[in-house]
């Protein structure tokens, strides 16, 4: 299967994802999709907290981009995590606060594959701090 060439807009989004992941890994050993979305400015931290406390029915309702772009972002994030040799780990997101614990939803539909894509964290397996890989050389 042949991949379509990446356009400038897609390259810019990929670069933003890579930079966000590098910043997150410089602070801690785990990258969560919600953290990347916050770093990219697509999810306000206060909206994320509202969702975590159960005040928002599903996370996609408060993310500032369309679902097609969001799906592409999650896919690019997963590919970059693979390139960095990060280990995937599914995390259960439970409602915070005094009310009874309840699993949070990321999507309106609750589609299992999408829910899992949001819940998949990527862990740096190294013992020391994360060091980003050297930039790939481009051939002319």
Domain boundaries, the chain: 11-123
Show the tokens assigned to 54.
Answer: 């159960």
CB-CB neighbours of 23 under 10 Å: 13
Q: Supply the pTM of this predicted model.
A: 0.86
Q: 35-79 pLDDT, tens per residue?
A: 999 999 999 999 999 999 999 999 999 999 999 999 999 999 999
């Amino acid at each position: 299967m042949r991949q379509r060439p990446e356009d400038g807009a897609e390259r810019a989004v990929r670069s933003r994802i890579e930079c966000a992941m590098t910043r997150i890994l410089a602070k801690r050993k785990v990258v969560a999709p919600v953290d990347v979305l916050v770093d990219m400015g697509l999810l306000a931290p206060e909206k994320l907290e509202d969702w975590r406390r159960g005040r928002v029915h599903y996370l996609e309702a408060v993310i500032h981009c369309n679902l097609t772009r969001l799906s592409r972002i999650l896919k690019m994030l997963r590919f970059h995590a693979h390139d960095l040799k990060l280990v995937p780990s599914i995390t259960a997101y439970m409602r915070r606060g005094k009310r009874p614990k309840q699993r949070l939803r990321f999507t309106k539909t609750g589609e299992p594959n999408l829910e899992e894509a949001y819940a998949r964290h990527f862990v740096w397996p190294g013992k020391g701090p994360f060091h980003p890989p050297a930039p790939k050389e481009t051939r002319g």
